[in-house]
Amino acid sequence: MDFDTAKKAVDYIFSHPDLFTEDSVSFDFIGGEPCLEMKLIDQISDYIKIKMFKCNHRWFDKYIFGFTTNGLNYNSESVQDYIRKNRKHLSITITLDGTEIKHDINRVYKNSNRGSYKDVVKNIPLWLKQFPDASTKITISSEDIPYIKESVLHVYGLGIHEVHINCVFEDVWKDGDDKLFEMQLIDLADAIIDNGLYKDFACSFFDESIGKPMDIRKNNNWCGAGRMLSIDAAGNFYPCTRFAQYSLREKNARIIGNVDKGIDSNLLRPFLTLNRRMQSKQECFDCDVASGCAWCQGENYDASETGTIYQRATAICKMHKARVRANNYYWNKLYRKLELEGEREEFEMNKKETKDIIC
């Protein structure tokens, strides 16, 4: 993206307050690799800040600049200058996929089989010093399953206290993957509980709110597509970056406008009408463990038979059910331990206080 295109995008956002009514905002810079374009990101960030100041905008002290990086250039002068300049309004995530073996399955240098783990991990201490509450995200597909337990524990060992982890939504799963997945999660649950790691560390695979029947009163869409604005290098608008052509395998991009003409409300409207009932099969509503079963709107569209956004992709179904079984194991074992050690009341009180702070 060139600066003129970015400038037009920012001008459009700030000249249409009726379309952007949120009390706060996150400007995310998505690559490729954002750290390769720090000069441009810095220039755009400065323009946004000046624009907010001149408009006396409610976002002026309620904004975040965010990006996810592969971490290779994190210690570079350009990145560190940007951090010093914007530290109070930054959210930076370094993606570390787990152990060296797990990370290097997919994250290798161009035109080489050399993995990037060793070059990334050396920047983790600096990142955690600057963002001590930072978390990382691990993504799981079929070939990654055997490394789940050791990868989460490895990340904990590096000093990262919160691991967001999820399975890909694409239909990549082989027969038996759900059983292997469940076994890995149970082994991980044993390691976390037996070693008391639950006191200081968190893994998003273990969540008390999932695995229950669906509350029929809740009919909201899982995904935020259509309620965010994604802008590509050419200045095209999308309901989510997942609808840009480079993110799709089978379907054509779903453009909803551009920096010159603005948002086309007729193209956006279908996304604003999305809800759970409209795109889910009845079996999803009747499922005993439906709560917490997620989807990606872009994958729904890409995997659909007709190019509709109203057909929910369910390739992740068996993996969700396996996660629920392991999740039940985790919480049953944890609460039994807490009961025996007389620590349950304190644990639940701390959990409530944490939830109140977040809320």
Give me the DSSP letters along 302-355. HH-SSS-SSS---TTHHHHHHHHHHHHHHHHHHHHHHHHTT-HHHHHHHHHHHH
pLDDT of residue 353: 62
pLDDT of residue 359: 47
Single-letter amino acid code for the residue at 169: F
Compute the mean pLDDT over every residue in the chain, rounded to the nearest whole number. 94
Flag the least confident range among 216-220, 297-301, 310-314.
Answer: 216-220
Count of C-beta atoms within a 10 Å radius of residue 96: 27
Parallel/antiparallel/unpaired status of strands 162-167 and 202-203: parallel
**Per-residue pLDDT at 337 exceeds 70:** yes
What tokens does 8 get?
């037009």
pTM of the full structure: 0.92
- How far is CA 58 from each of CA 11, 12, 351, rounded to the nearest angstrom? 16, 16, 32
Flag the least confident range among 15-29, 216-230, 338-352.
Answer: 338-352
Residues in the chain: 359
Crossing angle between the packed helical segments 344-358 and 317-340, to the nearest 10 degrees? 130
**Per-residue pLDDT at 117 exceeds 60:** yes
Q: Where does the pLDDT of residue 168 fall: very low under 50, low under 70, confident under 90, or very high at 90 and above?
A: very high
Q: Where does the pLDDT of residue 32 fall: very low under 50, low under 70, confident under 90, or very high at 90 and above?
A: confident
pLDDT of residue 349: 75
The rounded distance, in Å, linking the Cα atoms of 35 and 286 is 45
